[in-house]
Structure 1
Amino acid sequence: MKYRKLGSTGLNVSVIGIGTWQFGGEWGKDFTQNEVDAMLDKSGELGINLIDTAECYGDHLSERFIGNYLARRKREDWIVATKFGHGFKGHLQREQLWSADQVLKQLDDSLKSLQTEYVDLYQFHSGTDAEFENDKLWSMLDRQVQAGKIRHLGISISASGTGVHQTASAQAVGAEAIQVVYNRLERGPEEEVFPLCAKHNLGVLARVPLASGYLSGKYKPDAAFPTGDVRANHNADTRQKQLLEVAKIAESEVPEGIPMAQWALGWCLQHPAVTSVIPGCKDVAQVIANAAAADLGMVKDGQSL
């Protein structure tokens, strides 16, 4: 495994992390604690130290799986990132909870679920610019940093906006890392967000690096997804267009002998602004495959990964 500093946080994170939205049950599978334990054990064995979760991946369900695991392992071996701003109300249904008091309760609930005294990275989760401009919220969060409940603050940019205002304002609210959708099919952050991150020394976590699995190479343009899988709600025409593009990429860009999913993760990591990618996984085999992307020989700042 390879590691990079996450912006100005001082956190040394693995270039491959583990995303855990799937643990909340919205990707067509319900998980058991034993399955989660096996994936996290294999992740640790392979040198992965970054876990990304959220309050609304299930009603703190993903966090509880992780917390149960951490309670039986060395907490200091892991960098745990979670998020705030929403309440889980059902499959793909979220309640907006942005007041300082609401977020403080979310933080305490997350700490309880994660069975930890602190969160390494606590992230504003896909909120609007209006929700972001809340001095009381950021003052409360700063107090939690001072109290030791939060080590570092971050911003997880909504997929529906550019994220430019929030990225440019990150330092003003004490945030040191940006999480953003970035993959071979969705390159918008390269235009303004990544230059801002470089200018202000903000770490970058690239989420959805496999484009919701489309860049895994598993799916044909006419692929269908079962009810209960997030991808079943994607626009059918957009999905087909993206999968047609994936087929072209597989033919023209992916080197022979390299699995497309590994190539897609390595592709993200070659951008000098990106600190780590956080793909999801459904089993131990996917953990192993994801971790292998760290050794593809991609280059950052003139140096081999």
Structure 2
Amino acid sequence: MKYRRLGKTNLDISVVGIGTWQYGGEWGKNFKQYEVDAILEKAKEEGINFLDTAECYGDHLSESLIGDYLSRSKREDWIVATKFGHHFHGNFERTRHWSVNEVIKQLDSSLKALKTDYIDLYQAHSCTDEEFNNDELWTMLDKQLEKGKIRSLGISLRSNEESYQTDHASDVKAGAIQVVYNRLDRKPEEQIFPSSQNQNLGVLARVPLASGYLSGKYKPGATFNSDDVRSKHNSEETAILLKQVEEIQQNEVPEGVPMATWALSWVLKHPAVTAVIPGCKSPEQVELNAKAAQLADDSHPQSVK
């Protein structure tokens, strides 16, 4: 495993992390505690130390599964990121909660679910610019930093289309952003990454396998079951994506390298990117994802020597 400093935070994180939305029960599987334990044990074995979750992944369910594991592990071995701003109301349904009092309650609920005294990275979750432009909110969060409940602040961007929140991240003492970035979606390269580099912000790349399209499992003509979120995608767009993936596999992926491993390492090669956070459903996936670190660039500007 390789490690990088997360922007202007003091957090050194593994270049491959673990995304944990799936533990909230919305992706066709309800995870048991022993299954999450096995995934996190494998992550530890592989040198992964970064976990990304959220309060609305099953109404603190993902956090609770992680927290149960953390309570039986060394807390200091892990860098835990979670998010705020929503409340879970069933499959893919959320309400938005951004007042100071609501966010304080969310923070305390997250600390309780995670069975921890502090959160390493607390991220505003897909907020609108109006929700972002709330001085009272950021003043309150700054006080939580002073109290030690939070070690660092971040912003999980809702869109790749514009860079307003990234441009103003330093103004609210955010040291990292999270963004969708993969070989099929390079939009952040235009505005978001240059702004991040100018401010020394850490960058967490979510959906690095493009919702599984870059896993290497699917060929042109593939169809998805009704309980698969990809079945809701436009069929013409899906056909175009699968054709793109086939061309990438033929022309860019070295022989003998699994496409998923290559796709993660491709993201890690961008000088703005600190880490990738693919979702993991099994210890075997953790092991495969971790191999991307071997292909990561040792001369990356955020590398921890």
TM-score w.r.t. the length of structure 1 is: 0.96
Cα deviation for residue 129 of structure 1 reads 0.7
1:262 aligns with 2:261: yes
Q: Percent identity, please.
A: 62
Structure 1 residues 301, 64: closer, same or farther in 2, change over 3 A? closer
Q: For residue 25 of structure 1, what is the aligned residue in structure 2?
A: 25
- Residue 241 of structure 1: aligned partner: 240
Mapped contact 1:157–1:163 kept (Cα < 8 A): no
Indicate the SS of the match to 2:80: strand
- Cα deviations across residues 231-266 of structure 1 (Å, max 9, x unaligned)? 233233222221111111011110000000000000
How many Å apart are 1:221 and its aligned residue? 3.0
Q: Secondary structure at the residue paired with 1:103?
A: helix
Go from structure 1 to structure 2 and tell me whether the alpha carbon gap of 1:66 and 1:134 turns closer, same or farther (over 3 Å shift).
Answer: same
Tell me if the contact between 1:19 and 1:52 (Cα under 8 Å) persists in the aligned partners.
yes
Q: Residues 18 and 280 of structure 2 are in contact (CA less than 8 Å); yes or no, is this contact kept in structure 1?
A: yes
CA displacement at 1:224 relative to structure 2: 3.0
CA distance in 2, matches of 1:280, 1:233: 19
Deviation at 1:139, TM superposition (A): 1.0
For the 8 Å contact 1:39–1:283, the answer to whether it is kept is yes
Question: 5 Å matches for 1:95-106?
Answer: 95-106=95-106
Consecutive unaligned residues of structure 2, counting only runs of 5 or more, are none
Give the equivalent residue in structure 1 for 2:208: 209
Letter in 2 for 1:98: W
Q: Please give the per-residue CA displacement for 1:33-92, whole angstroms capped at 9, x wherever unaligned.
A: 001000000000110000000111111110010000000000000000000111111111
Q: Is the 8 A contact 1:181 1:209 kept in 2?
A: yes
Distance 1:178 1:243 in 2: 29
The amino acid across from 1:17 in the alignment is: G
After superposition, the Cα gap between the structure-2 partners of 1:151 and 1:303, relative to the gap in structure 1 and judged at 3 Å, is: closer
1:303 Cα deviation after fit: 11
Quickly say closer, same or farther: Cα 1:97–1:69, change in 2 above 3 A.
same
Which residue type is aligned with residue 289 of structure 2? N
- TM superposition shift of 1:162: 2.4
What's 1:123 paired with? 123
Match of 1:150 in 2: 150
Q: Aligned partners of 2:162, 2:148: CA distance in 1, in Å?
A: 28
SS in 2 for 1:162: coil
**Structure 1 equivalent of residue 192 of structure 2:** 193
- Residue 295 of structure 1 aligns with which residue? 294
Alignment of structure 1 residues 276-295 onto 2, 5 Å: 276-295=275-294
- Runs of 4+ in structure 1 over 6 Å off: 302-305
- Specify the alignment match of 1:229 in structure 2: 228
**2:138 alignment counterpart:** 138
Distance 1:78 1:44 in 2: 9
Distance 1:31 1:301, change over 3 A: closer
The secondary structure found in structure 1 opposite 2:89 is: strand
Letter paired with 2:190: E
- Partners of 2:268 and 2:296 within 8 A in 1: no
- Asked if the contact 1:26–1:230 (Cα under 8 Å) also holds between the matched residues in 2, the reply is no
Verify: 1:58 aligned to 2:58, yes or no. yes
The one-letter code matched in structure 1 to 2:42 is K
Specify the alignment match of 1:164 in structure 2. Answer: 163
Q: Matched residues in 2 for 1:297 and 1:165: separation?
A: 30
Question: Which residue number corresponds to residue 253 of structure 1?
Answer: 252
Q: In the aligned structure 2, how far is the partner of 1:233 from the partner of 1:62?
A: 24
Distance in 1 (alpha carbons) for counterparts of 2:302 and 2:167? 28
Partner Cα distance (1:106, 1:199) in 2: 31
The Cα of 1:304 is off from its aligned counterpart by 9.6
Amino acid at match of 1:213: G
Amino acid paired to 1:76 = E
Deviation string 1:277-303 (CA, Å, 9 cap, x unpaired) is 000111010000000110025464489
User: Is 2:7–2:302's contact at 8 Å kept on the other side of the alignment?
Assistant: no
Unaligned segments of structure 1, at least 5 residues? none
Tell me: CA distance 1:302–1:5, structure 2 relative to 1, closer, same or farther (3 Å).
closer
Hey, what does 1:175 align to over in structure 2?
A: 174
**C-alpha RMSD of the superposition:** 1.6
Distance in 2 (CA, whole Å) between partners of 1:279 and 1:84 is 20
Count, aligned residues: 304
CA distance in structure 2 between the partners assigned to 1:238 and 1:121 by the alignment: 35
Q: Secondary structure at the match of 2:83?
A: strand
Distance 1:300 1:279 in 2: 23
Match of 1:231, SS state, is helix
